[in-house]
Chain A
Amino acid sequence: MQTYTLSVSPDFSPEHLSGWFIFNTWLQKSLATPFHLELYDEFELQRRDIQLDKIDLIYANPYDAAMLVREKGFKAVARPANTSDEAVIAVLNGSAYLNIDDLKEGAKVATTHDPDVHMMGMIMLEPADLDRSNVIVTPVHSYVIVAKQLLKGEADIGFFLKDAFHDLSDLIRGQMRVLVESQIDVIHHTLLAGPNVQHLIPQLLGNLLNMQDDAKGKAVLESMQMTGWLKMEQEDTEFMIDLIDTLIE
């Protein structure tokens, strides 16, 4: 029997990732189909494998979802029920910056390769007339490193996925404060099925929507810090892609 590949956008903390291993076990049982969970530390490596058609099922960030649907023929299956993707711009507690308008040209920005969080962060800088031409952007591999750049004084501001900011240890997060936080509500991660596994969508969707109603499924959801799944209609997906399109220059 063919083994398919499940992957997850590399923007989550290790605590979240253990939940995906548990989900993968649940997935294989519920579909009676073998899946291998392939995790990546870096967006670039995952994108390379997407281009090589090595990934069949993916929990994608909204920015990559647009590319997967438009260019790689993926179909949206479901989205998490209780969360949307929001970005946070944080500074050190002692920073002189009290709001975005205080920031000046030449500000040093620590960010990750997470495309939607980076995009939202840059949008939140626009009101101060800042853009990539007049700030110094350093992309790093994780949100923990973004925090470290702030703590070491190597960056003035840091871009975080809101969930990832709250996943930081109290010791680290306690040294920072939020300068501004997005409230977009309508942009979220999505579980997408590639051409090879689209025949499984009806069964997969049914199983996902029922997860919260049985004890085993519920435990899996809890390990992923989710309350349940919602169906993504084709139009919901198209709308989210249109929205992302308006935000890309």
Chain B
Amino acid sequence: MFITYHDGSSREITIIDQEVPYPDGKLIVSRTDTAGVITHANQAFIEMSGYSLDELIGINHNILRHPDMPAAAFKDLWVTIQSGKKWHGYVKNLRKDGAFYWVKATVIPNIRNGELMGYTSVRRKPSRSKVDACTALYAQMKMDMPS
């Protein structure tokens, strides 16, 4: 299938309906520039996304966007972080192999000497009940407002 991003660009992706469980005790960390282009990713990020570091650095973070995620969630993310605030949310991410993994994500602006330099995101293991609630919520959001 094809996935279309907020700027109208699209790419072909493979989807397999298979969840990869979030490993206990790990944090997945990445950083981007102000436009959402990946500048850093830790080992847990590499393992869970299925991409190599070389494949990740320099590309847009939307490479992880899963088609089940409603556009409104990311709109909320960007409005929040661009106003200098911290964003929390539950995100279903797409792996390189087409499988998915759920995370509880936090994104914060990186301010250096009063200037916005980019963003940092840290993900942790979500609870099953939150994942179930968000699965239902996001499906409803997509029905109400197909992207």
Contacts and interface: CB of A to CB of B under 8 A. Distances in A.
A238 B125 CA distance: 24
A243 B124 contact: no
Interface in A208-249: 235, 238-239, 242-243, 245-247
A184 interface: yes
A210 to B, nearest CB: 30
Nearest to B118: A242
Contact of A246 (B23, B44, B108, B127): B108
B11 interface: no
B86 A245 contact: yes
Chain A interface size band reads 20 to 34
Given A186-B42, A238-B110, A245-B108, A126 B124 contact: yes
Given A126-B126, A246-B108, A185 B25 contact: no
Interface of B: 22-27, 29, 31, 42-44, 86, 104, 106-108, 110, 112, 120-122, 124-130
CB-based closest 5 A-B pairs: A246-B106, A246-B122, A182-B25, A129-B127, A127-B125
Given A185-B43, A243-B122, A246-B108, A180 B24 contact: yes
Interface in A125-141: 126-129
B120 A246 contact: yes
A127 B126 contact: yes
14 contacts: A124-B24, A124-B25, A126-B125, A127-B125, A129-B127, A183-B26, A186-B29, A235-B112, A238-B110, A239-B110, A243-B120, A246-B107, A246-B108, A247-B122
Contacts of B86: 245-246
Interface of A: 99-101, 123-124, 126-129, 180-186, 235, 238-239, 242-243, 245-247
Contacts of B108: 242, 245-246
A186 B108 CA distance: 17
A243 B29 contact: yes
Nearest to B22: A127
Nearest to B105: A246
Contacts of B42: 185-186
Contacts of B29: 186, 243
A184 B104 contact: no
A242 B127 contact: no
Contacts of B120: 239, 242-243, 246
B104 to A, nearest CB: 7
A135 to B, nearest CB: 14
A183 B25 contact: yes
A114 B112 CA distance: 28
A70 to B, nearest CB: 11
A135 B22 CA distance: 23
Given A126-B104, A126-B125, 9 more contacts: A123-B124, A127-B24, A128-B127, A180-B25, A182-B26, A182-B27, A242-B120, A243-B122, A246-B122
A184 B43 CA distance: 10
Contacts of A180: 24-25
A181 B25 contact: yes
A180 B26 CA distance: 10
A242 B117 CA distance: 12
Contacts of A184: 25-27
